[in-house]
Structure 1
Amino acid sequence: MLTEIQRIPTSGARAVAPFELDGHAFLAVPQLSSDSPGTPPGMNGGDSDTDLLLFRREAEGYVLYQQLPAPGGEDAEFFRIGDDAFLATASIRSGRGPYSYQIDSVIYRWDGGKFAEFQRVPTFAAKQWRHFQLGERHFLALAQGVFLPHTEKDNRPSVVFEWDGAKFVPFQEIASKWAYNWHFFELDGQFYLAHADNRDPSRLYRWDGERFVEFQTLTESEGRAFATFAVDGQTYLAVAVIAAESLVYRWDGSTFVEHQVLAGKGGREFALVENAAGLHLIRVNFIIGPRENPTTALQSQVYRWEDGRFVVVEEFPTAGGTDVAVIGDGEDTLVAVSNSLTPDTHFSTETVIYRFGDTQ
């Protein structure tokens, strides 16, 4: 179902963020680190004084358009407020070892021809931004934190920021130790915000009209990402877990109940695709084993919904896979996958663009 059409050289790529702007298709790829000559390979090393790579779609494929300073790049989130377009970047660390996790993450604004710095936000090991709206209110949620013996005293919870008309200001803290991800959705007239954490439980929060309040625990630890979808009037929530099997929950009218276990460890991100062959879930797997000596060359999965459950219909190789995004391309569908680590744990690998077929 996946046909490779382009490989883009990247280094420690942590996300793929597609968006359209001024009639062009773009792809933002933040990079965690680059290999440092003379130092041993490893996912915890390298030179993290990196740039985000911004590509524009041309006839020959994605071509480099702009580089934006984003040390230790983990995520990029494109969004609009009125006539303005923004790109928020999340930076986990800076330096070449020892590293600093206390680093600003920068929000850029489009000036008509390029992205220019708009706002710097002090963050600690920032992992992801997620923009969402409640009516006319704009929010930007920050997942952050690393809970290790040498970082515990400086660690910070995740934060939901709100647009005040001129900039983003703190609105609410969400308890966390090692946060990774967010997912916002509406269900039965209520608004929900899922928050993934590596050490703390990954929890689902519900908007009570004034703030987000804890609603349900989804996994006790090692949470990474979420996806929601609806089939035959039923709503489901998929939860990616890195050190255990991933889960699919079903909404029973009042809470989410376990519906299916997706076998295999290493789950990092999800993307949904629907075409003539049905509903598909793509799961990208990152690593298995310890961070000091991980296995990075894994198989990631394409599932198809059949008879009320997901079944694997294809597997494809990833090298420390970190993200997956679906891109509309006329009548076709593209899938971008970021890879971050070679089998021998070097950072220099490739982000891959696939065409998604409709094989029955």
Structure 2
Amino acid sequence: MCSCRRLILICYAVYVLPVLPKPVKRQCTGPQVLDLLGLALSESKTANWDIEVHDTRKGYRFSSSRHPAKVEASTFLSSCVVFPSEFSFIFSFKAPTDTVNSEYLTSFLGPDRETVLMAVRYKSDWLFFDYIDDRNTKQSVGVQSRLIKDGKWHDLIVAVSAAEVSFIWDCGTTTRRTLNGRFHDNLKLKSTRFYVASRRKKRGRFTGLMQQLKFVVGSDATSLLCHSSRHFWSANRYSHSGTDEVTPVRVVDDGSEIGTCSLESKGNLVYRSRSNRLEVCQGSRWESISAGPERLDYIEDYTNLKTKSKTLDFELFRLPDKGLFMAAANQGRDRDMNSTIYKWNEHGFVPYQNLTTDMAQDWEYFRIGDDHFLACANQGADERSPHATSTVYRWSEAKRKFVPHQYFLSSAAQSFESFTIDGKHYLAMANYGETEIADVGTGNSDHSLRQKSFVYEWQPDRRAFTVYQTLSTTGCVDLEYFEAYGSHYLAAANSFDGDDSIIDSVVYKWQQSKFVAIQYIETTGAHDLEHFEIGNSHYLAVANYYDYRKKSYKVNSVVYRLSESRGKFLKIQDIPTTGALDWEYFTVGKDSYIIAGSSEDGKSKIDNTIYRWQGAERFVPVHTLSVYPSSDWEMLDIGNGEKYLVSANVKGKNNKILRILTY
């Protein structure tokens, strides 16, 4: 959306390139698969451990007369401050048949070496997961299984998330239990230790045989082990050199060659360190492993994207068999006023096609049947007239580019919005520009921002849009269509009436084949509306740009929730913003996020905050990104676990692409 309107006469300067932003890290990152047993044995004072072979499988026996096997948590979670909130333990063990007391397979002890922060143990034919919940209360969740005392080798996965623990026996029987209290998400790692086959004391030591104990960070290990190969469960031959011959995990950079995946290498694992991604050979190809919902880890700088001039909007879209594209709405002078369509390759976006535009504000991609369209809202460079021509382009397969399809006379058009209702295709255009109005009493003319915005309907026989409905708007900058609870809505962001920026924006509802105003919401220079859905609830975020009364860009933007019973939006949260031009909603796994495009605070770089939805707490800030003044954010998901955030620079040519790393 445009950051410079006729109502506010501001000249923007091009700022000096700032220092690249530093990544904002989550509190725990690191390799996903760790050999906890190997690390504990290598750090032990005991030189030789008792190794026994039972049923062709080798295991370690831990005598109570020897020092317990342990490892400092910071040794293998070196980049962590707190314990990860999602993880798995992988055990291969054979338990004795005659034990009646609790025996610990592993335990995680606090700095006092007494407090058990977490443990996996069994007692008779019961298996338990002990932990400290988020209220610092000791909790225990157990399941009963005859497999514990049957005298056979078993492979066990204990997978833990914030609210649930799963026990998986031999990649078959799975039992899930809801945690009595949520797992503590702020367990400090400083001076904590893991103990293997004990809880440090002689009492409670594991008296059976243990073949392996692995720890998986940020992932349910079930898909890693049970959906790939039995090779992972092969015999563990440990040496003090740290060699682990049970499916070694090879650590490589993201761009490194990892070799051919074949039947001989089936089950091999590769960990890509930069993207924090684990891949397994499935016999013919490498596949990324993602067990359970992924979580946002941290954001890092990826690259700059240089455009012809400052950018007001990015529009991402895919063309079948052609790839991923992004259209930039550019504002400059002369030839630099033209806008560019970029295409994604393995290194980023590269220019694909230039299109002649006239102070472009917004791009909208849509599809009708087999045809692909791009609509460009042009504000117009002629300050003497608000009128300009906005254009709908159509993809030409023969020319392999977009060509003009239809022109619209517009009044400083700000945005297009496409949608379908009952099988019919519509295109709405938001007009901002001034209209000359004659005073009846004096005969003098004046300029007003009361303007008609239009809804167009697609006519299949004419292959063109025709006017379907007019909407009375005032300095309208954005139109947002959405469906909620079986009804169709269109919301209009009105930003300025010629005298004040505190005016009503309007929510329209589709009734009897037209849009009818059902709610007026007071906004402050509203520039963008973002509808999104979390669970079964519908929300509308308003980006408020400027308070004309206070002459200030520091304005609260607002999040509303749609009340199904009342049929109206109710305010649920104010969020401080600075010259907000855009809201972008996106998800990572099951988590919901929003980020506002902040454009004004007098600096060359501005903090843009990512907020995460946390239920009763509403949206809470979780990451701060220092980028060029931003007019638009777009979330880019190119598949295979690669996600990016793209920020449009409203004051310069260098736009920012940031990479989202997940775990």
TM over 0.5: yes
**Higher-RCO chain (CA-CA 8 Å, sequence separation at least 6):** 1
Residues 107 and 149 from structure 1, CA distance in 2 versus in 1: closer, same or farther, beyond 3 angstroms?
A: closer
Query: Bigger CA drift: 164-173 or 78-87?
Result: 78-87
Residues 300 and 277 from structure 1, CA distance in 2 versus in 1: closer, same or farther, beyond 3 angstroms?
A: farther
Residues 173 and 201 from structure 1, CA distance in 2 versus in 1: closer, same or farther, beyond 3 angstroms?
A: same
Q: State the alpha-carbon separation in 2 of the partners of residues 263 and 221 from structure 1.
A: 13
Whether the aligned pair in 1 keeps the contact of 2:23 and 2:299 (CA below 8 Å) is yes
Match of 1:145 among 379, 382, 407: 379
* Matching of residues 270-285 of structure 1 within 5 Å: 270-276=529-535, 278-285=537-544
Match of 1:112 among 346, 351, 357: 346
C-alpha offsets along residues 228-255 of structure 1, whole Å, 9 cap, x if unaligned? 2333332221111112310011111221
Whether the aligned pair in 1 keeps the contact of 2:342 and 2:349 (CA below 8 Å) is yes
TM-score of the aligned structures, taking structure 1 as reference length? 0.78
Match of 1:354 among 587, 592, 611: 611
* Matching of residues 43-54 of structure 1 within 5 Å: 43-47=10-14
Give the superposition deviation at 1:294.
Answer: 4.4
Specify the code of the residue in structure 1 equivalent to 2:306. Answer: P
Percent of aligned positions that are identical: 27
Residues 112 and 263 from structure 1, CA distance in 2 versus in 1: closer, same or farther, beyond 3 angstroms?
A: same
Residues 72 and 215 from structure 1, CA distance in 2 versus in 1: closer, same or farther, beyond 3 angstroms?
A: same
Residues 355 and 145 from structure 1, CA distance in 2 versus in 1: closer, same or farther, beyond 3 angstroms?
A: same
Is 1:269 equivalent to 2:236 in the alignment? no
Match of 1:86 in 2: 325
Whether the aligned pair in 2 keeps the contact of 1:338 and 1:350 (CA below 8 Å) is no
Match of 2:469 among 210, 216, 222: 216
Residues 321 and 101 from structure 1, CA distance in 2 versus in 1: closer, same or farther, beyond 3 angstroms?
A: farther
The gaps in structure 1 that reach 5 residues or longer are 1-13, 16-31, 34-41, 95-99
Q: State the alpha-carbon separation in 1 of the partners of residues 15 and 421 from structure 2.
A: 40
Determine which structure has the larger strand proportion and give its number.
Answer: 1
Q: How many equivalent residue pairs? A: 312
SS of the aligned residue for 1:157 comes to: strand
Specify the code of the residue in structure 2 equivalent to 1:68. Answer: L
State the Cα RMSD in Å. Answer: 3.1
Match of 1:62 in 2: 299
Is 1:205 equivalent to 2:459 in the alignment? no
Q: State the alpha-carbon separation in 1 of the partners of residues 23 and 515 from structure 2.
A: 40
Whether the aligned pair in 2 keeps the contact of 1:101 and 1:125 (CA below 8 Å) is no
Match of 1:75 in 2: 313
Residues 101 and 113 from structure 1, CA distance in 2 versus in 1: closer, same or farther, beyond 3 angstroms?
A: closer
Give the superposition deviation at 1:73.
Answer: 0.8
Give the superposition deviation at 1:102.
Answer: 5.8
Give the superposition deviation at 1:88.
Answer: 0.8
Specify the code of the residue in structure 1 equivalent to 2:347. Answer: G
Q: State the alpha-carbon separation in 1 of the partners of residues 318 and 17 from structure 2.
A: 25
The gaps in structure 2 that reach 5 residues or longer are 25-274, 276-295, 434-450, 497-502, 619-663
C-alpha offsets along residues 283-318 of structure 1, whole Å, 9 cap, x if unaligned? 11111329xx94211111111112211010111111
Match of 2:488 among 230, 235, 246: 235
Q: State the alpha-carbon separation in 2 of the partners of residues 56 and 73 from structure 1.
A: 24
Residues 48 and 123 from structure 1, CA distance in 2 versus in 1: closer, same or farther, beyond 3 angstroms?
A: farther
Whether the aligned pair in 1 keeps the contact of 2:494 and 2:525 (CA below 8 Å) is yes
Give the superposition deviation at 1:147.
Answer: 6.1
Q: State the alpha-carbon separation in 2 of the partners of residues 127 and 49 from structure 1.
A: 24
Whether the aligned pair in 2 keeps the contact of 1:283 and 1:300 (CA below 8 Å) is yes
Match of 1:299 among 556, 562, 570: 556
C-alpha offsets along residues 170-215 of structure 1, whole Å, 9 cap, x if unaligned? 0111111311111110012211111112115221111111111111
Whether the aligned pair in 2 keeps the contact of 1:147 and 1:177 (CA below 8 Å) is no
Match of 1:191 among 425, 435, 446: 425
Q: State the alpha-carbon separation in 2 of the partners of residues 346 and 56 from structure 1.
A: 20
SS of the aligned residue for 1:273 comes to: strand
Whether the aligned pair in 2 keeps the contact of 1:277 and 1:358 (CA below 8 Å) is no
Q: State the alpha-carbon separation in 2 of the partners of residues 74 and 140 from structure 1.
A: 16
Residues 179 and 224 from structure 1, CA distance in 2 versus in 1: closer, same or farther, beyond 3 angstroms?
A: same
Whether the aligned pair in 1 keeps the contact of 2:380 and 2:389 (CA below 8 Å) is no
Specify the code of the residue in structure 2 equivalent to 1:356. Answer: W
Give the superposition deviation at 1:115.
Answer: 1.2
Is 1:161 equivalent to 2:396 in the alignment? no
Q: State the alpha-carbon separation in 2 of the partners of residues 56 and 184 from structure 1.
A: 36
Match of 2:412 among 151, 158, 178: 178
Whether the aligned pair in 1 keeps the contact of 2:331 and 2:338 (CA below 8 Å) is no
